[in-house]
Amino acid sequence: MIKTQIQLPDALYRDIKRLAASREWSLAETMRRAAEQFLARHPVVTPPSSPWRPPVSDRVGWRGLSHEAVRQAALDDIEARTVEAHGKADRQGRRRR
């Protein structure tokens, strides 16, 4: 067992001594129990050995497409949706006349 010194505010020291006396524990036993409870509530988290990376799958994503090809596909999709939306608006405008 390791022997150590700690500094406590006066009021905290008095409260811990009062608790220890009421349970018939020594001050050291009371501090050990308090430390054990604290560690049980706040477990030590070890940092990961390597940085997190998303999982890799060959079943998803844009396999074989370059960044530019993906960009162009997105632009083509936006253009198709825009044309479709304008076409609907034109058809609705003609019906109202």
pLDDT tens digits along 52-80: 887 776 666 666 778 788 888 888 888 88
How much is the pLDDT for 11? 97
pTM beyond cutoff 0.85: no
Measure the CA–CA gap between 47 and 63, rounded to whole angstroms.
33
- Across the range 84-93, mean pLDDT stands at 66
Q: Is the pLDDT of residue 96 over 60?
A: no
How much is the pLDDT for 10? 97
Measure the CA–CA gap between 3 and 48, rounded to whole angstroms.
32
